[in-house]
Structure 1
């Protein structure tokens, strides 16, 4: 949750806008952003592209427009719904994703990957400068000089295994079309199941 993440990072308590319909309503967001004071770029709006329980997607284009108007950065949590990008039929549901400053994608939710195979994409490469931080206990110069590979500067998880490699292998094997066909099949089955329950 956002309050927990803010607490873990030592950030102020976030402004959380209730979403009784399951998606973020742009009107209360506009009101909240209008009331905030601070320099442009100092606020972050977190939108959702696929809720875990219902697969709902926030109105991303409207939220992106509000972020531009108010000078707020936009993060889109596409951990669950991001797999729709592989589907020619369904990718338009994620229109607006291209306006985000950062996007998270967890292909273990809709991509048939291990739990740790997640991605963080950034629009501006300078957002990753913190990864270049040097720490003597992490940066083994003798290993680097010997040509041994490491993940420092390439991963938030530094010394953990590179599970993103599994995504690359899946993409190489199935291709975007193959993954898209799987996404379509799963979504079609889910819609059919929901239809049968409702009748």
Structure 2
């Protein structure tokens, strides 16, 4: 497999074109709609065009950003998702499901035919006919629990408009957090959020200080922040997924970071 660079956080289209041109038989291109570190989305339509030109299939990892489809306000960000040969969604993020609730989506049912392969040691035909559960037909992971029912109930209960409301509120909170960081002279914002991931760090702090701030907040039960190393620097990562987050919650988070930064700079025991 060829690794295509993403120097700006999304796939480099000229590099992808060159890789597909050099490959005699390109098989599959994997794009991302919502990267783990920054939440950025690859140029899906342009990538789909290149795949069509070079005869390669397209898979889109939309684990994070796929549910934006529910929102009329934000669905344009994943335009081109429908051109993929397969899409993965992880609804424990912007779907508010259990962690194991993942979906593999394909345009036509027959694309799932390989999953109908049967193994006699798991499902002997006479056992199935006798009424024993058919494990292979219940989950891609065989004996692991299927979470399809939870997803179906959520979709039925909330509908597209209900999920859109939760998504819009969550993304609005992320943009508000970015605004607050921009207005705070002691904090640096990495970039405006594409989805709901906001990267920031104390101005002038080194990576050791950033890591210490994160661990201290975590171990003291004050805040759970992720970390992302991008642009040759370590950043605090706030991935907002709670539509009930309030502006006061965001102010409190930034106050905690600011206070802890000052304590570390002055050599005090962090409060």
The TM-score bracket by the shorter chain reads 0.7 to 0.9
Q: Return the offset for 1:127.
A: 2.8
CA distance in 2, matches of 1:153, 1:167: 17
Q: Return the offset for 1:157.
A: 1.1
CA distance in 2, matches of 1:35, 1:77: 24
Q: Which of 125, 140, 147 is 1:163 aligned to?
A: 147
CA distance in 2, matches of 1:102, 1:43: 13
Q: Return the offset for 1:140.
A: 3.7
CA distance in 1, matches of 2:153, 2:108: 26
CA distance in 1, matches of 2:55, 2:173: 41
Any gaps of 5 or more consecutive residues in structure 2? 184-271
Instruction: Report the aligned-residue RMSD.
Output: 1.5
Q: Which of 21, 29, 40 is 2:8 aligned to?
A: 21
Q: Return the offset for 1:195.
A: 1.2
Q: Return the offset for 1:129.
A: 2.0
Q: Return the offset for 1:53.
A: 2.2
User: By percentage of residues, which structure has more strand?
Assistant: 2
Any gaps of 5 or more consecutive residues in structure 1? 1-13
Output the TM-score relative to the length of structure 2.
0.64
Is it true that 1:72 corresponds to 2:56 in the alignment?
yes
The residue that corresponds to 2:169 in the other structure is 185
- What's the secondary structure of 1:119's corresponding residue? strand
CA distance in 2, matches of 1:100, 1:151: 29
Contact 1:48–1:76 at 8 Å: present in 2 too? Answer: yes
The residue that corresponds to 2:105 in the other structure is 121
Aligned residues: 183
CA distance in 1, matches of 2:78, 2:171: 15
The residue that corresponds to 1:139 in the other structure is 123
Give per-residue Cα distances to partners, 1:118-146, cap 9 Å, x unaligned: 00011243332221211111114344223
Q: Return the offset for 1:90.
A: 0.8
Output the TM-score relative to the length of structure 1.
0.86
- What's the secondary structure of 1:152's corresponding residue? helix
Give per-residue Cα distances to partners, 1:80-119, cap 9 Å, x unaligned: 1011111111111111001000000000111111111000
CA distance in 2, matches of 1:136, 1:193: 55
- What's the secondary structure of 1:174's corresponding residue? helix
- What's the secondary structure of 2:104's corresponding residue? strand
Q: Which of 18, 32, 49 is 1:31 aligned to?
A: 18
- CA radius of gyration, larger in: 2
The residue that corresponds to 2:93 in the other structure is 109
